[in-house]
């Protein structure tokens, strides 16, 4: 399917292989946000004039659209600033209930946004962080989670999909392991929501966090999904306008979830754009498989090049992580940029994983719905050219 025409940014020479950081935005998403600002760009949940009702209806309709995308009721969808904000909300609120000696299972695959909030909780409560051992390949397995599960485990906070290795976590099996136990599972789905792999009825988790900007939507908005009783039991961590039910001098009452977590003016245009992105993605089937086909082709060709090391030879979706031997990844990425190829270079907000891999940084190419085999060819040719160019010095 030729999708380039849907994405105005592709009207220029660009081979975009950095969707793992942020995807491109189709015109329908951009237009929906512009329409809001031009036609009814006022605040929500407050005004009693018609335009304010229109804005409120668009916002609440967006909640329903995003909820149905993950098979959840709308009341379980909290809009946040993004994945990081959602993960922090769970850690700050649920984490505050932990006690010294309680255990939080995390992994070395986590994005910093999945790890640091729990590090803070551990420091404050004296709960203990426990790392799931990774397999030789770098994967989280159910068996390895079982090996660190104890009576003290209170939280399992894992990524659903690694943003460096392209590995999926067998989260349903892990959830089955702790079924009936007093253990809360918080899932980081930043990389998997864009592939439509988030079905809250199938994953068995308590909380799931993801953002719009990696799935054709705008930046500045994301979702915390939580089971309704879990959300109701959680204390808000931000206080102020609109999240309250009634305010007195010394005390106040708060609304039910999800509203008690949505303090102040929300990113209204972004929420509306998010819903459009979800609608845009709805006809796409098998995004994961399509990505995997492209990335496997890239990996096979990169592996065949002398002087190139690939760190994830068997990913589940469209991420390849590699280095040209002896070359700093920033040099590789800058060289590729001369060919209008956009890739990410660095630690990918995963410094503990870089340690595990034994490197400071890598080059990462990520594939999404608008990429094609010709992009793989361009990447491989440019990597070869970079290797040969820098190899002369």
Ligand X SMILES: Cc1ncc(COP(=O)(O)O)c(C=O)c1O
Q: Is 190 in the site for ligand X (CB under 6 A)?
A: yes
Q: Which is nearer to ligand X, 20 or 258 (CB)?
A: 20
Q: Is 226 in the site for ligand X (CB under 6 A)?
A: no
- The only residue of 19, 32, 191, 323 in contact with ligand X, by rule CB under 6 A: 191
Q: Is 159 in the site for ligand X (CB under 6 A)?
A: yes
Q: Which is nearer to ligand X, 327 or 365 (CB)?
A: 365
Which range, of 53-61, 81-89, 200-208, 233-241, touches ligand X by CB under 6 A?
A: 81-89
CB of 137 to ligand X, least distance (A): 18
CA–CA distance, 71 with 225 (Å, rounded to integer): 11
CA–CA distance, 210 with 187 (Å, rounded to integer): 9
Q: Which is nearer to ligand X, 26 or 82 (CB)?
A: 82
Q: 363 by DSSP, 3-state: which?
A: strand
Q: Is 107 in the site for ligand X (CB under 6 A)?
A: no
Instruction: Using alpha carbons, select from 333, 340, 315 the residue that is nearest to residue 390.
Output: 333
CB of 191 to ligand X, least distance (A): 5
Which range, of 150-158, 186-194, 248-256, 265-273, touches ligand X by CB under 6 A?
A: 186-194
Instruction: Quickly count: other Cβ atoms within 10 Å of residue 327's Cβ.
Output: 18
CA–CA distance, 53 with 366 (Å, rounded to integer): 40
Q: 157 by DSSP, 3-state: which?
A: strand
Q: Is 23 in the site for ligand X (CB under 6 A)?
A: no
Placement of tokens 């939280």 in the chain: 155
What sign for the dihedral angle of Cα 237, 278, 342, 385? positive
Residue 377: alpha-carbon gap to chain centroid: 27
Q: Is 267 in the site for ligand X (CB under 6 A)?
A: no
Q: Please give the angle made by the CA atoms of 279, 282 and 286, to the nearest 5 degrees.
A: 155
CB of 217 to ligand X, least distance (A): 11
- The only residue of 138, 166, 211, 315 in contact with ligand X, by rule CB under 6 A: 211
Q: Is 6 in the site for ligand X (CB under 6 A)?
A: no
Q: What is the dihedral of CA 280, 226, 189, 69, to 10 degrees?
A: -20
- Please confirm, yes or no, whether 349 is among the known catalytic residues: yes
Q: Which is nearer to ligand X, 83 or 312 (CB)?
A: 83
Token digits of residue 301: 């060709």
Which range, of 118-126, 184-192, 313-321, 359-367, touches ligand X by CB under 6 A?
A: 184-192
- The only residue of 56, 113, 169, 290 in contact with ligand X, by rule CB under 6 A: 113
Helices (H) and strands (E) in the chain, counts: 13, 15
Which range, of 76-84, 166-174, 259-267, 279-287, touches ligand X by CB under 6 A?
A: 76-84
CA–CA distance, 393 with 388 (Å, rounded to integer): 10
258, 228 in Cβ contact below 8 A?
no
Q: Is 25 in the site for ligand X (CB under 6 A)?
A: no
CB of 188 to ligand X, least distance (A): 5
Q: What is the dihedral of CA 313, 133, 157, 117, to 10 degrees?
A: -100
Q: Which is nearer to ligand X, 112 or 227 (CB)?
A: 112
Instruction: Using alpha carbons, select from 177, 181, 291, 216 the residue that is nearest to residue 66.
Output: 216
Token digits of residue 347: 């630690």
Q: Which is nearer to ligand X, 19 or 290 (CB)?
A: 19
Instruction: Quickly count: other Cβ atoms within 10 Å of residue 199's Cβ.
Output: 13
Q: Is 83 in the site for ligand X (CB under 6 A)?
A: yes
CA–CA distance, 379 with 383 (Å, rounded to integer): 6
Q: Which is nearer to ligand X, 213 or 260 (CB)?
A: 213
Q: Is 84 in the site for ligand X (CB under 6 A)?
A: yes
CB of 168 to ligand X, least distance (A): 12
List contacts with ligand X (CB under 6 A): 21, 82-84, 111, 113-114, 159, 163, 188, 190-191, 211, 213, 349
Residues catalogued as catalytic: 349
């Amino acid at each position: 399917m030729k999708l380039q025409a849907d994405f105005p940014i592709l009207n220029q020479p660009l081979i975009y292989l950095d969707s793992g950081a942020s995807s491109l935005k189709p015109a329908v998403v951009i237009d929906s946000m512009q329409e809001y600002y031009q036609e009814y760009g006022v605040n929500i949940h407050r005004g009693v004039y018609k335009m304010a009702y229109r804005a409120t209806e668009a916002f609440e309709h967006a909640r329903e659209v995003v909820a149905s995308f993950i098979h959840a009721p709308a009341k379980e969808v909290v809009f946040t600033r993004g994945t990081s904000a959602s993960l922090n909300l769970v850690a700050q609120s649920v984490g505050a209930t932990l006690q010294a000696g309680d255990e939080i299972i995390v992994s070395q695959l986590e994005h910093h946004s999945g790890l640091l909030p729990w590090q803070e909780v551990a420091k404050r409560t004296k709960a203990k962080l426990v790392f799931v051992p990774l397999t030789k390949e770098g994967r989280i397995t159910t068996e390895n989670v079982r090996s660190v599960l104890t009576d003290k485990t209170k939280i399992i906070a894992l990524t659903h999909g690694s943003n460096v290795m392209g590995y999926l976590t067998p989260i349903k099996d892990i959830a089955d392991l702790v079924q009936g136990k007093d253990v809360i599972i918080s899932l980081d789905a930043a990389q998997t929501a864009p592939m439509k792999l988030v079905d809250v009825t199938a994953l068995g988790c308590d909380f799931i966090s993801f953002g719009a900007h990696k799935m054709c939507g705008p930046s500045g908005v994301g979702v915390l999904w939580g089971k309704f009783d879990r959300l109701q039991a959680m204390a808000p961590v931000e206080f102020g306008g609109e999240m309250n039910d009634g305010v007195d001098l010394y005390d106040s009452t708060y609304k039910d979830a999800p509203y008690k977590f949505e303090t102040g003016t929300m990113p209204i245009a972004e929420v509306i754009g998010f819903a459009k992105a979800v609608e845009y993605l709805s006809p796409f089937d098998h995004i994961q498989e399509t990505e995997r086909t492209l990335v496997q082709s890239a990996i096979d060709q990169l592996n065949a090049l002398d002087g190139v090391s690939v760190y994830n030879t068997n990913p589940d979706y469209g991420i390849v992580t590699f280095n040209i031997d002896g070359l700093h990844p920033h040099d590789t990425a800058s060289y590729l940029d001369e060919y209008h190829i956009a890739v990410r270079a660095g630690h990918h907000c995963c410094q503990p994983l870089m340690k595990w891999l034994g490197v400071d940084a890598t080059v990462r190419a990520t594939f999404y719905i608008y990429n094609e085999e010709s992009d793989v060819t361009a990447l491989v040719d440019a990597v070869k050219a970079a290797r040969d160019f820098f190899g002369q010095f």
